[in-house]
Amino acid sequence: MLPRDGQPVRFLLPYAKKNVLHAPKGCTPALDSLVSQFIKEGVIFVGVVGKDCSQIEDTIDEICVGDGSNAYDMLTSSHPEESLEQAITFARSLTGEFSGEIQIVELS
């Protein structure tokens, strides 16, 4: 379902604890609010793939740390020069507290 502006509708379901963030257009203004929602919902892993994925990973880390007074612990990774499928394979390989199903999230 697409609204009039052509952007996908996000239904009010929680994010998985483990996510692969696909960024085909690179960093967008939506990143800050997306990461805030990840934190609110208890996401513990985000792997980033796509344009400027290393910079996006750094930004996620900075948002999680904030001013340091209430840092949020989230494992992140970036996958430059890798396909979405390779990033998914990496996410699936995580074990222990990071095991479980993954969700693909597109940054738009």
The first and second tokens of residue 40, run together, are 């609110």
Model confidence pLDDT, tens digit, residues 26-75: 999 999 999 999 999 999 999 999 999 999 999 999 999 999 999 999 99
pLDDT at 4: 52
> pTM of the prediction?
0.87
Model confidence pLDDT, tens digit, residues 9-26: 445 578 999 999 999 999
Beta partners for residue 47, in sequence order: 20, 77
Distance CA 15, CA 33 (A): 13
- What is the helix (H) or strand (E) element at residue 106, kind and residue range? strand 102-106
